[in-house]
Each structure stands twice: as structure tokens, then as C-alpha cells.
Amino acid sequence: MRNGSFGSGTFRKILLSYTAILIIPIIVFSALNVQRNIVEEKRRQHEAHALDAKRIADLVDNKLNELKTLGKTLSNESWVKKLMQDTNVYDQEFDITKMLDIRTSLGNSVSSQGILSFGMVVFPEQQKAMTSWGMFPLKDFFQSIVAFDEAAEQQLQNSYSQQQYFTILPPASMKLWGSDKRVIPVLQSLEVVNHPRAVLVLFIDSAYFSEYMHRFGGIESQEIVMTSRDALIYSQVRNDPAARGGAASYPIHLSSEASDVQYAISYADSSVIGIGNLFSSLAAILISIVIGALMAYLLAKISYRPLGALLSKLSAAARVEDSRNGKVTGSEYNFIEKSFDRLLHENRKLQQSMQDYENAAKSNLYLRLLKGYFMDDQQKNELGKLGIGYTEDMYYCTMLVSFHAIRDFSDFEKIRKIEMLMMVIVEKAMSRYGLDYALFEVTNADKAMIVSSGQPFGDDDMLERIAAEMADEIERLSGFHPDILYGGVEQGLVGISKSYYTANERLRYTIFSREHFQVLQEETMQAGVDYYYPTDWEVQLINNLKIGNLDTSLQILHEIHAENDKRELDEASVSRLLSLLMETMLRVLHELNLDTDIYTKQFCSRAKAANMEEMWSYMFEVGTLICERKRYANTSSAVSAGSELLQYVNDNYSSADISLKQLAEMYHMSLSKVSKIFKEVTGINFYDYVCRLRMEKAKELLRERSCGIDHVARRVGYENVYSFKRAFARYEGIKPDEYVESADGR
């Protein structure tokens, strides 16, 4: 290992790493900043162009609106109204003086617009036109004064007789008094009918309009194009070679608010960032790189100081080890790798030794439990050290698994496969039924299993179902049907031994019968589980109920409900599923030190009614109550007081005198405190809880039909039958006598 920081390969790598970590983000950030400036400059430019385009469009729209206003003004003129009537009544009014005034007024109106060559009022029915030069027949006017080409003249003739709100025709060439002009005809009916009797025809002079646009249109745009009904009306292109020197451009499209004209105004797309901004950005990048390199060096020095000391120690130890073997070569990292390999190897050996010791100690302790194990303080500590949480208050059952029916024990691969399958199947079965277990080897059977629980279990042939399910599953996967025997469920550690001997006797009898009496195995019915209640979901449901996570708990219940609805289960399967869910709920309630009697009674009542939807609703209700209770968890002293209150209510709910006031006086508390503690313990208020107890007892008595409704009311704590009937109807939704009839029907 070389001396000095830069001479160390490790230091150089650290320095390069820090340099890359600091410099790369600086470069990326600077590039993004330049890009952001370009985008911002482009955005500002586009906004400015959009405003300029809107200004140009408004400029043209204003001029078009002036032309519209001219049409509205002329439509209100009396001479226009009189002339369009095609009668000689007004002939005397239109003498030479009057006609001269009309011509002068019309000429002044047209000239004031600034962009018109001339204008005229056409009377289609009379085929006449009033102009600033006088009244002319249309045919003579278009021959002697104004001359259009045949197509343009025909288009004008066709437009006179049609309603024209404000129509702009394509540009046309004409001769006015012998002079060539390029004009844009604009027609506006002076009468709102399908065939107007007077039409204002204005001719926008292209030269005047171009001069107007050059004067007021601005110089930022490269091209201005106006179209009407897909026909080109006007086009203006800047004659600035510098502006059009191959630079990219983009159009801004706008619609006229005064007519059907569409504007397309193009602008140069010059989005290059300014040289000043670019220079400042490059300078900032260079300064940031220099500062980053200095910071990387300082960080490398600081980081390498403790690492260098560690490297020196590890390399020294590795060199001593290598010197014994005659090897003193290698870099710092080789020394570190050898040191860590040695430490890892020693750690693995130590962990394996500890694991072997723990497994051997556990197996030995389990065997001692099978033989009969009586506890003292020292042995309790031994159980705790090995992570075995057995206590005298728990319930236990021993199960034995035998592969004795296998004749060929030389096929170790097959036996090993069966053992692995059995371990997986046992885990699933025990988790599904919510039981703890320990699986280990014994001499008189292949495997023994201690099943344990904090609550009594084994009713309703549970153990028989567990054994049959595991045996059938092993047979399905391996083709071999093992013998799985079990003892009774016993309480206390000595009960393990009692259950073990019972199971052992059954196993010996089974083996003896098979070998001596050739008893044929009865056909095993496949106890298929068609409902959906996976172990992982059950574990998650239990955990969320325990921590009071209401949303997740209700979501899990909802998913279980939905999935099983899809399977269209029969009533028995749904009932079994709901029973398992209820067992989960009760187990959680028990672990939270909450009373389970009321929930057991209520569930049993609903189960007897066989109303699956009501039972599902009750699952959600109990889950909600569990989470709410957890949310309002109280101190240990309050829980103790709440348990006493709850126990007293459970024992005396049928008394008509029971009330919050009575409880407050009995336990020397205020009414509010008694109410709060009771709500925290039960999740519902005092009177709802008492009503539930009374209604459940009342339904039980009504189903038995051992007494009348009056007597039932008094037995459950109501002083008069009217109050009882009202409470029963509110709680159950039907009257007591209707409930009796429905119970008889079932």
C-alpha cells in the first residue's frame, strides 16, 4: 500500500466517486437551466406574437365593422327605402338637386373608409345602381364605367338577389374609367329578406388595403394571409431578405369576429438564447465545476481518514496471516476481502452452531413434554430462552404422522419429498384453523406435532377434519396416504403428555390392524374446501383488527365477501366460512381482553335464522366495533373498571332498575365517566347494549313459546308490554307476534 493520499488507489477511487456525484448533477442542472431559459424565451416570444396577431386581426375587424356600419346607416336612409319600392310616387322628390345630394353623400361615405375604390347601392328588381356618379342601369354601368371579366360579373349578378348579411367575395380585376384595379367585392343586403330589394356593394381597393396594412399592421409578422370560404382574400409578405433568409416560421390562426374571414399570421421562430445569457450560463457551469471539484477533494479527505485507519489495521492483519503462508502480495481491497471472508466464514460457523444447538434443545424439550413435563421457574426460563411460548393456561393436542405403510424405505428421495410436502401442508392447515404447532421427529412415529392455542379447540370434529385434510393433500401430491392420528385436547403442559399417549395408542392399533386383520381402508371422502378464505388474508385481517385499522379491515372483509359471492357457494359452505370469520373475530376480541359472550350469542342467533346477508353484515359490524374499541383504548385501570361494569350489566340486564345512575352510585363515579368507560369497552352506548341483550333473550324466549309476550317483556326487564313491543320493533324491524309467526314458519 503506497503512502500519501493520491498514492492510494482507494483514495483516488473515492475522489473520482465524489467528483462524479457532484459534477454530473451540476452539468445536468446547468443544461436543464439553459433549456429552461430557451423554453421561457420561446414562450415569451410566442405570447408577444400572439398579441401582435390579435392586434392585426382586430385592426382588420375594426375596418370591416366600419363597412358594416356603413351598410346599416344606408339601410336607414329614406332615399334608399323609397327607391327600393320601385314606384313613381316619389319621382318628384328625386329631382336634380336631390340626386346630387345623394351622390355626394354616398361618395363621401365611401371615401371616408379609406380603403374603397368605390361603392354602389344596387336595386336588383329594377336592375339599377346608385353610385357617386349617378343612377345607372346595371348593364350600362358595367359596360361604360366599370368593366369586370365575365366570371366576376356573373358572380356579382348572382349575389344581388340573395340575402347577404356581410359577404366578402374573392378578389377580382376590373377597369374603372379605363384604369386597371384589383378589388375585393363586399356585399351587404340593406333589407332582411330572402330576395332583398337593395344591396350595398363595396369594392375594397387592394392597393389601398395593402397601404393600410403596411401602415398599421406592424413589421414583426413575416406573412399575413386572409381567406374567406377557403378563398384567398389578401396576402402580404415582408420584403425583408434578412427576415426571410431561410429562418423557420410558424403561423398563428385566428377567426374574424366581424365576418367569416380567417387569418393566418406567420412569425419567425427565432428561439435561440441570447449570447449574454449563454455566456453567463457557461461561466456559471465552469465555476460550479471548479467548486464541485474542490468539495469532492475535501469530502474524499474527510471520508478517507477513518477508512484509511481501518484499511491499515485490516491490511496489517491480512499481511500477518499471509506472511505465515508465505504470501505478502495484494492490494488494499484484497486484504479487506480476505479479512471479511474470514469474518463471514467464522460468523456462518457460529450461526450454524447456534442453530444446531437451538434445534437440538427444542427437540429434546419437545420430547420431554411428550413424556410428561412439570414446570418450575428454571424450566419456564428454559422455554422462554428457546422461544417456546407454552403456558399452563393454554390448550394442547398431540398429533402423530406415520409413513409406516411405505414398504420401500430405500427410496430416500421419495421419503424426503413426502416430508417436505408434509411440512408445507401442515403449515397451511394449522394457519387455516388459527392454531399454533411444533413439528419434530420421534422414535415411535415419523413425525410428532404439538398443536396449541390460547382457547379451547377441537369441537365439531375439528381435529378429524384437520387430519383428513392433511392426509388427503399429501396423498394428492405424492400418491402416498400417511396415517395421521391425534389425541384429545387438554389444558396445561401435562396435557401434552396425555394427548400424546392417546394418539400413540391409536397409532399402534392402526398399524396392528393393518398387519394382522387386513382391515380395508374405508373410502376417504374428500373434504374439499370450496369457500375462499386464504391464510394470508386471515393473518392480515387479524393484524389490522388488532391495531384498529378500520378501513383495511373492512376492505379485507369486503374482498372475502365479493370473492365468495362469485363462487356461488351453497348455504353450508357460506355458513362454515362465516363461522371461521367469526372465530377470527372472537379470537381478536379475546386477545384484546374484551368480552365475547354477547357477540357469540348474537352470531348464533343469526346463524339459526340462516340469513346469510345478515350474518355478513354482522361480520362488518363486529369488525367495526373491534377497531373502534382499539381506537378508544383505555388505561389498564379503566379497562378493569369497564370489565366490572360490563360483567354487572351482563348479569343484571333483565332488571328493570338497571341504569347509568345505578351504576354510577354503585361504583362511585359520575354519570359521564360511567358512560364513557362503558362506550370505550363495548364500542356502543349503555342503553343500546342493554337493549341488545334484552332483545336477544326475548327472541330466545319467543322461539321457545314457553310464555306469553307480557311475561317475556317482564323477564327481560320491561315494566310494561307496550315499551317492550316498541323496543322490539325498533331493534328487529317487526313486531314480537310477527317474529313468533316467522319463527314457526322456519
Quote the percentage of the chain above a pLDDT of 70: 82
Between CA 199 and CA 209, with CA 203 as vertex, the angle to 5 degrees is 140
Which of the given ranges, 12-16, 494-498, 628-632, 674-678, has the highest pLDDT on average?
674-678
- What local confidence, expressed as pLDDT, does residue 253 receive? 92
Helix, strand, coil content of the chain in percent (nearest 5): 60, 15, 25
Other Cβ atoms within 10 Å of 388 Cβ, number? 16
Alpha helices (H) along 372-449: 377-385, 412-432
Instruction: Let me know whether 575 and 477 are in one domain.
Output: no
Number of folded domains in the chain?
A: 4
Q: What is the mean pLDDT of residues 176-182?
A: 87
The residue among 227, 177, 174, 179 whose CA lies nearest residue 201 is 174
Alpha-carbon gap, residue 736 to 714, rounded angstroms: 14
Alpha-carbon gap, residue 12 to 10, rounded angstroms: 5
Q: Is residue 398 part of a domain?
A: yes
Q: Is residue 302 part of a domain?
A: no
Alpha-carbon gap, residue 666 to 655, rounded angstroms: 15
Alpha-carbon gap, residue 730 to 724, rounded angstroms: 10
pLDDT band at residue 121, thresholds of 50, 70 and 90? very high
The rounded radius of gyration (Å) of the Cα atoms in the chain is: 51
**668 has a pLDDT exceeding 70:** yes
Alpha-carbon gap, residue 201 to 189, rounded angstroms: 9
474 vs 537, residue with greater confidence: 474
Alpha-carbon gap, residue 523 to 587, rounded angstroms: 35
Instruction: Let me know whether 628 and 699 are in one domain.
Output: no
- What local confidence, expressed as pLDDT, does residue 411 receive? 63
**DSSP structure string for 189-222:** ESS-SSS-S-EEEEEEEHHHHHHHHHHHS-SS-S
- What local confidence, expressed as pLDDT, does residue 537 receive? 60
Gap between the terminal Cα atoms of the chain: 92
- pLDDT digits 0-9 by tens, 369-420: 776 554 445 556 677 777 788 887 889 999 988 876 565 555 667 777 877 8
Q: Is residue 184 part of a domain?
A: yes
Choose the final residue of a domain: 607, 635, 663.
635
Q: Is residue 105 part of a domain?
A: yes
The residue among 179, 221, 199, 173 whose CA lies nearest residue 60 is 221
Burial (CB count within 10 angstroms: exposed 0-12, middle 13-18, buried 19+), residue 634:
middle
- What local confidence, expressed as pLDDT, does residue 374 receive? 46
Alpha helices (H) along 271-411: 275-325, 332-371, 377-385
By the 8 A CB rule, do 489 and 499 touch? yes
Cα torsion angle, 492, 494, 498, 504, sign: positive
Instruction: Let me know whether 111 and 205 are in one domain.
Output: yes
Choose the final residue of a domain: 603, 635, 667.
635
Alpha-carbon gap, residue 402 to 263, rounded angstroms: 93
pLDDT band at residue 707, thresholds of 50, 70 and 90? confident
Choose the final residue of a domain: 159, 183, 216.
216
- What local confidence, expressed as pLDDT, does residue 314 receive? 64
CATH of the domain at 450: 3.30.70.270
By the 8 A CB rule, do 217 and 59 touch? yes
Q: Using alpha carbons, list the distances in angstroms from residue 465 to 91, 378, 396, 507.
A: 119, 38, 17, 17
Across all residues in the chain, what is the average pLDDT? 79
- What local confidence, expressed as pLDDT, does residue 276 receive? 55
- What local confidence, expressed as pLDDT, does residue 3 receive? 47
Q: Is residue 530 part of a domain?
A: no
**633 has a pLDDT exceeding 50:** no
Instruction: Let me know whether 631 and 665 are in one domain.
Output: no
Instruction: Let me know whether 467 and 580 are in one domain.
Output: no
CATH of the domain at 660: 1.10.10.60
**What are φ and ψ of residue 565, in 5° steps?**
-65, -35
Instruction: Let me know whether 631 and 658 are in one domain.
Output: no
Instruction: Let me know whether 204 and 122 are in one domain.
Output: yes
Q: Is residue 725 part of a domain?
A: yes
Other Cβ atoms within 10 Å of 265 Cβ, number? 26
Q: Is residue 243 part of a domain?
A: no
Instruction: Let me know whether 387 and 496 are in one domain.
Output: yes
- pLDDT digits 0-9 by tens, 48-74: 889 988 999 999 999 899 998 998 998
**18 has a pLDDT exceeding 60:** yes
Instruction: Let me know whether 691 and 603 are in one domain.
Output: no
Q: What is the mean pLDDT of residues 729-736?
A: 80
Region of residue 547 (phi > 0: left; psi between -120 and 50: alpha; otherwise: beta): alpha
Instruction: Let me know whether 628 and 502 are in one domain.
Output: no
Q: What is the mean pLDDT of residues 261-275?
A: 75
Q: Is residue 459 part of a domain?
A: yes
Structural domain of residue 600, as residue ranges? 535-635
- What local confidence, expressed as pLDDT, does residue 488 receive? 84
CATH of the domain at 90: 3.30.450.20
Instruction: Let me know whether 510 and 377 are in one domain.
Output: yes
Instruction: Let me know whether 392 and 472 are in one domain.
Output: yes
